[in-house]
Amino acid sequence: MDRNLFAGLLAALAAAVIGSAWQLVSRHGVTTTLGPMELALMRYGIPALLLAPLWFGKKRRIAPKASRVALVLLVVGGGLPFGLLVLAGAQWAPASHMGIFMAGSLPLFTAIGARLHKGQKVEGIRLAGLACIAIGMALFAAGSFRGGSLDWRGDLLFLTAAMLWAVHSLAFAHCGLTPLQGAAFVNGWSALLLLPVLSTVGAPRLLSAPWPDVALQAATQGVVAGLLGLVVYMVAVVRLGAPRASLSAALVPVLTTLGAAACMNEPVTGAVLLALALVVPGIVLASGAVRWRAKEA
């Protein structure tokens, strides 16, 4: 196997595992001792500090040549707006919903973005995959409105966040930054954008929460997801392209659902299993991986 291809696949796998872990820890955080603002502060503040040398060091290496529009979309799609939507949605909907709606809708939004930006057509098996995803999420979403459930609020925020992440992926593919530079750029600007928000609403639970909870979130939000997760996903985009990198999303719903059942006692209902049965194969088919592998052979 080509080394470039292998590195891309490995990065995509790492991104899926990290993405699922971030979803689980975020759901735990906002339903126990911390809130979205506290998690956002750690999610963007810690990696911004760790990557500060790329901005202010003697060998400053960030010199983006992309258009301002692309750089703005890079931050909006993968930075603070994206993070706040996910963290707010995690307060209202279970972790399994986060995995299904965010990971499932990512190929849909990526395909739409590629169509609008590059005129790329989706045909054949990829179109069938997108149809499976749409049907699976539609059936699953219908359950969010039954019995007076308010899960739909979180589901809607997850869908919006997935749309932003698709924009982020497409913007990064054209911004001319390395993965490490991209992570520094996104986290640095997100931390700056967070300052006026914090000055208004603050992060009142940060000092009152138990220190083990704060330590867990600082490590997961700031280092694992905020730094490592962003870098490995950008590596996957560079090596595989945005549509193929989105294949990593196929593992996220399964990992998140199993993790939520094991660690948070979330029930694995028939509706969840039906959604997974449609969304996960749909992600694989929509990514173009089946046709792509045939060409590699």
Exposed, middle or buried: residue 280 (CB in 10 Å: 0-12, 13-18, 19+)? Answer: buried
Residues comprising the chain, all counted: 297
Question: What are the residue ranges of helices labelled H in 62-150?
Answer: 68-78, 80-89, 95-98, 104-118, 124-143
Q: State the pLDDT at residue 1.
A: 59
Instruction: Show pLDDT as tens, one digit a residue, over the chain (297 residues).
Output: 577 778 888 998 999 999 999 999 999 999 999 999 999 999 999 999 998 887 765 555 555 566 888 889 999 999 999 999 999 999 999 999 999 999 888 888 888 887 777 777 777 888 888 899 999 999 898 877 776 677 889 999 999 999 999 899 888 878 888 888 888 889 999 999 999 989 888 888 898 999 999 999 999 999 999 889 888 988 888 888 766 777 777 889 999 999 999 999 999 999 999 999 999 999 888 876 555 444 444
Q: Report which of 282, 276, 243 is spatially closest to residue 131, judged by C-alpha positions.
A: 282
- Coarse DSSP helix, strand, coil percentages of the chain, rounded to the nearest 5 percent: 80, 0, 20
Q: What's the CA gap between 144 and 119, in Å, rounded?
A: 34
Tokens (6 digits) for 16? 């899926």
CA angle (230 as vertex; 291, 36 as ends), nearest 5: 120
Count CB atoms within 10 A of the CB of residue 213: 16
Q: State the pLDDT at residue 295.
A: 44
Number of H helices, E strands in the chain: 16, 0
Task: Give the gyration radius of the chain's Cα atoms.
Answer: 18
Q: What's the CA gap between 197 and 195, in Å, rounded?
A: 5
Tokens (6 digits) for 11? 């990065």
Q: Report which of 237, 227, 234, 233 is spatially closest to residue 51, judged by C-alpha positions.
A: 227
CA 36 to each of CA 40, 84, 203, 288: distance values in angstroms, whole numbers, following the listed order: 6, 7, 9, 35
Q: What's the CA gap between 50 and 271, in Å, rounded?
A: 42
The DSSP call for residue 249 is G
Query: Taking the alpha carbons of 269, 264, 85, 182 in that order, is the dihedral positive or negative?
Result: negative
Tokens (6 digits) for 261? 């059942």
Q: State the pLDDT at residue 258.
A: 95
Which residue reads 């990198």 in tokens? 245
Q: What's the CA gap between 224 and 47, in Å, rounded?
A: 9
Beta-carbon contacts of residue 176 (< 8 Å; ≥ 6 apart): 64, 65, 66
Q: What are the extents of the domains in the chain?
A: 3-296
Tokens (6 digits) for 59? 């060998």
